[in-house]
Chain A
Amino acid sequence: MPTKDIGKLTIVAAGDRELVMKRAFHAPRKLVYEAWTKPDLLKRWLTGPDGWTMTVCEIDLQVGGSYRYVWKNRDGNEMGMGGVYREIVPQERLVATEKFDYAWYPGGAVLTTTLTEHGGITTVETTVTYDSKEARDGVLASPMESGVTAGYDRLEKLLATNFA
């Protein structure tokens, strides 16, 4: 993989109900997997936007086991989510359901995460499959901003990179 692509996050909307996120890390798969599945490590990076921290991180890493994450921001607002593991192939593949406490979107989603390593670079690909078409875009709809017009550069970039 070209060096410039390590650290580049791609997010692609696929079909009518999926998002695929891909990111490479300069680390062996074993460590990336640990950082992804050990609560004390996960809490250090999966914190979301500025001002939020992860206050709860519980992981029962086995098929049928559940996980629970709760984030809290400076104003005291909380956001919780959780799910159940459906498939686990250590260091290779994780499939789990996802559901937010506050219904940001109807139903839930299934997250499939795969890890592949080549020459010390680990690529993590996460496919989020929402229960419905409406769900994928629904809760994530941004508020309408009147008078927003995209420049031609932005349009071309959008077409080329986000919807490959």
Chain B
Amino acid sequence: MSYTISGGSAEVQNLDTTFTALADPTRRAILARLVRGEASVQELAEPFAMSQPAISKHLKVLERAGLISRGRDAQRRPCRLEAQPLAEANEWLERYREVWEQNFSRLDVLLEELKAEDARPKTATTRQRRKTHKRK
């Protein structure tokens, strides 16, 4: 459920590719490493039992999503983290999360009420009150 007005198609595509890029643990680990500073493909491949071509495939996905940029130095081509797409994805999730946190806080309160009612010995009055659910 969302209460935000949708943006243009460019934003739609950006969020989509961002989420797809992030839906992979290796790519997330690569991003986590890049948070600490830029790195070469060799440096990024090191922690994984993965060949450089395999890592390069992941880097392409991240680059397409705008999450990393590659340096022009032909030999090293260092990878650098780009924060903007992540910030946008995070913002949407935060808004969505806020709405649901509010909903569930209210549900917590309601559940306390229902538990208290359940604990009371059932009388005709209690049954009637449950039926009408007057707000206190």
Task: Please list the residues of chain A having a beta carbon within 8 angstroms of any beta carbon in chain B.
Answer: 7, 9, 11, 13-16, 21, 23, 25-28, 31-32, 34-35, 40-41, 44-50, 52, 79, 81, 104-105, 133-134, 136-145, 148-150, 152, 154-156, 158-159, 162-163
Query: Is B50 an interface residue when CB atoms closer than 8 A count as contact?
Result: no
B41 within 8 A of A: no
Contact partner of A144 among B1, B11, B18, B22, CB < 8 A? Answer: B11
Q: List 19 A-B contacts (CB under 8 A).
A: A9-B104, A16-B20, A21-B100, A25-B108, A27-B112, A27-B114, A41-B133, A45-B107, A45-B110, A46-B103, A47-B103, A48-B102, A49-B102, A104-B6, A136-B19, A141-B15, A143-B7, A156-B32, A159-B32
- In angstroms, Cα B100 to Cα A11, docked, is 10
How many A-B contacts are there with CB distance less than 8 Å?
164
Taking A15-B23, A139-B2 as known contacts, 4 extra A-B pairs with beta carbons closer than 8 A to each other, sorted by chain A number, are A9-B100, A31-B114, A104-B6, A142-B7
Pair A163/B22 contact, Cβ less than 8 Å: yes
B92 in complex: contacting residue of A21, A35, A134, A140, CB < 8 Å: A140
Q: What distance in Å separates the Cβ of A86 from its nearest Cβ neighbour in chain B?
A: 19
Instruction: Give the docked Cα–Cα distance between A40 and B110 (Å).
Output: 11
A158 engages B89 (CB within 8 Å): yes
Is A14 in contact with B83, judged by CB distance below 8 angstroms? no
Residue of A nearest to B82 (CB): A149
Q: How far is the CB of B113 from chain A (nearest CB, A)?
A: 9
Give which listed residue, A11, A14, A26, A150, contacts B96 with CB less than 8 A. Answer: A11
Within residues 20 to 48 of chain B, which ones have a CB less than 8 A from any CB in chain A?
20, 22-23, 28, 31-32, 35
CB contacts (< 8 Å) of B35 on chain A: these are 152, 155-156, 159
Query: In whole angstroms, what is the CA distance A141 to B115 when docked?
Result: 39
Contact A140 B83, beta carbon cutoff 8 Å: no
List, in ascending order, chain B residues with CB within 8 A of A144's CB.
Answer: 7, 11, 88
